[in-house]
């Protein structure tokens, strides 16, 4: 292809960021090429996962109804594990799923979802080329003018990096450095197939209803947590760990994850199932502070995980919705621009307009909250001890509440002072 036969935009990566951007651009008649290294979109992608539907509705109203989704999340659960004990809080709010309204969130499997989303972008007119890895960026007169994949050179007014966390394209453009161990977690996940009726019975769900569970105390004291999502006929179970702490811990990620699976409150949920997928992936953990100083240069934008757009509050992890929002924002900037090469500032403005940057800023401090080490070491045990105390009636004369609290704190190597300090730090963080 010659320089004159260039695309309006080349998007690197057909994850949710890339497909949302391609869909929005192509709908407005732009010539878009999406290049995806996997043989089909989503084949290499990993998510817990759930999708918050509002983002899909922002791409186009009604898109959720067509999407390749698993189960409507009707049960939000928080689980604490300590030794063989467990506490499970099950929050059910019918208002999240009222008839006539788009359900709030769905569980998804990325191989299905990403393939569907990329096919929708294709339907609107984007070209999606799979099984091709972009190796280099083409630079002309200080601007990014296209990409190189193998022997091929392809040109565009703007190249949009949607290539995920630790974006190689962002590094090649000189906008980011290699990711550091302190700023990303390692996620591991298994997909375990089970008949739909068994899943429904084990999680007390009706047909199409689903559960999303965040789990604390499953990482053997390492900063991190677990997740469980019910799909149509499978369960997604995984854990995220901070790599530096894993390295110090001594046991492998795989071993810790296997111990988690065998927990007496987890294994019965999986029993009889067949593991059909085992995957691992990095996830950005820095939130707002992890957004690179600059997300663009002439002829080049970064969206989705490549731009560090992930929020982890402990009770929810949001990357897919932000990837979609940033894809829309980039597309809007390109569509409205007189000069698509210098579209960077307009993109930043759109990120603000769409609410992505304000949302990330609003929860910036959650990173500090999640860095309180006792959340992963002492507090799950303390909570389990409190419940043990609450539910034990053994004929002994109960101690006074003050003595009881002191005893439980001591049992968990905690002082009242530490508890207050962490409480205050947590309060300040959020």
Ligand X SMILES: Cc1cc2nc3c(=O)[nH]c(=O)nc-3n(C[C@H](O)[C@H](O)[C@H](O)COP(=O)(O)OP(=O)(O)OC[C@H]3O[C@@H](n4cnc5c(N)ncnc54)[C@H](O)[C@@H]3O)c2cc1C
When CB distances to ligand X are compared, the closest residue is 319
d(CA 299, CA 383): 53
Given the complex with ligand X, which of 169 and 384 has the nearer CB atom? 169
**Cα–Cα nearest to 312, from 379, 358, 363, 362:** 363
Vertex 379: Cα angle to 378 and 384 (nearest 5): 105
> Cβ 170 to ligand X, closest distance in Å?
10
Given the complex with ligand X, which of 12 and 256 has the nearer CB atom? 12
Contacts of 21 (CB under 8 A, 6+ apart): 9, 11, 160, 162, 303, 326, 327, 328, 330, 331
> Cβ 252 to ligand X, closest distance in Å?
17
> Cβ 337 to ligand X, closest distance in Å?
22
Given the complex with ligand X, which of 189 and 223 has the nearer CB atom? 189
Given the complex with ligand X, which of 295 and 414 has the nearer CB atom? 295
Question: What 8-state DSSP symbol labels residue 175?
Answer: S
Tally the C-alpha atoms within 13 A of residue 204's C-alpha that lie toward its C-beta.
6
Q: What is the CA radius of gyration of the chain?
A: 23
> Cβ 166 to ligand X, closest distance in Å?
9
> Cβ 137 to ligand X, closest distance in Å?
10
- The residues binding ligand X (CB under 6 A) are 12-18, 35-38, 44-50, 133-134, 162-164, 168, 187, 189, 238, 240, 281, 283, 304-306, 310, 317-321, 323
Count of other CB atoms within 10 angstroms of residue 66:
11
Given the complex with ligand X, which of 287 and 304 has the nearer CB atom? 304
**Cα–Cα nearest to 228, from 205, 244, 252:** 205
> Cβ 372 to ligand X, closest distance in Å?
22
Given the complex with ligand X, which of 192 and 310 has the nearer CB atom? 310
- End-to-end Cα, the chain, rounded Å: 52
């Amino acid at each position: 292809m010659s320089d004159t036969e260039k695309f309006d935009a080349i998007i690197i990566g057909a994850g949710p960021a890339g497909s949302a951007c391609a869909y929005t651009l192509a709908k407005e008649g732009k010539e878009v090429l999406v290049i995806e290294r996997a043989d089909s979109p989503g084949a290499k992608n990993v998510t817990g996962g759930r999708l918050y539907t509002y983002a899909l509705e922002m791409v186009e109203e009604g898109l959720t109804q067509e999407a390749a989704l698993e189960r409507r999340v009707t049960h939000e659960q928080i689980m604490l594990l300590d030794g063989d004990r467990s506490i499970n809080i099950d929050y059910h709010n019918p208002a999240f799923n009222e008839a006539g309204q788009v359900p709030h969130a769905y569980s998804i499997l990325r191989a299905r979802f990403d393939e569907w989303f990329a096919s929708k972008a294709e339907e609107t007119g984007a070209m999606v080329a799979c099984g091709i890895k972009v190796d280099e960026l083409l630079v002309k007169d200080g601007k990014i003018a296209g990409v190189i994949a193998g022997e091929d050179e392809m040109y565009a007014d703007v190249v949009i990096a949607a290539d995920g966390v630790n974006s190689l394209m962002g590094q090649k453009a000189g906008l980011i450095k290699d990711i550091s161990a302190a700023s990303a977690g390692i996620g591991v996940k298994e997909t375990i197939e089970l008949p739909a009726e068994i899943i429904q019975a084990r999680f007390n769900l009706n047909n199409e209803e689903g559960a999303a569970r965040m789990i604390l105390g499953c990482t053997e004291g390492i900063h991190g947590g677990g997740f469980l999502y019910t799909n149509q006929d499978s369960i997604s179970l995984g854990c995220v760990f901070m790599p530096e702490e894993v390295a110090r811990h001594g046991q492998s990620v795989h071993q810790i994850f296997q111990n988690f699976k065998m927990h007496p409150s987890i294994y019965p949920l999986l029993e009889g199932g067949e593991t059909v997928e085992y995957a691992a992936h990095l996830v950005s953990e820095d939130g707002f502070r992890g957004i690179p100083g600059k997300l663009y240069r002439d002829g080049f934008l970064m969206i989705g995980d490549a731009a560090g757009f992930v929020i982890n509050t402990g009770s929810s992890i949001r990357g897919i919705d932000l990837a979609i929002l940033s894809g829309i924002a980039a597309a809007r900037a390109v569509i409205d621009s007189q000069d698509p090469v210098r579209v960077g500032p307009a993109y930043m403005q759109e990120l603000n307009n769409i609410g992505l940057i304000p949302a990330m800023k609003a929860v910036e401090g959650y990173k500090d909250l999640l860095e309180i080490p006792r959340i992963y070491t002492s507090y799950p045990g303390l909570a389990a001890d409190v419940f043990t105390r609450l539910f034990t009636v053994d004929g002994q004369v109960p101690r006074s509440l003050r003595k009881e609290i002191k005893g439980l704190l001591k049992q968990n190597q905690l002082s009242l002072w530490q508890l207050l300090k962490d409480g205050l730090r947590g309060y300040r963080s959020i």
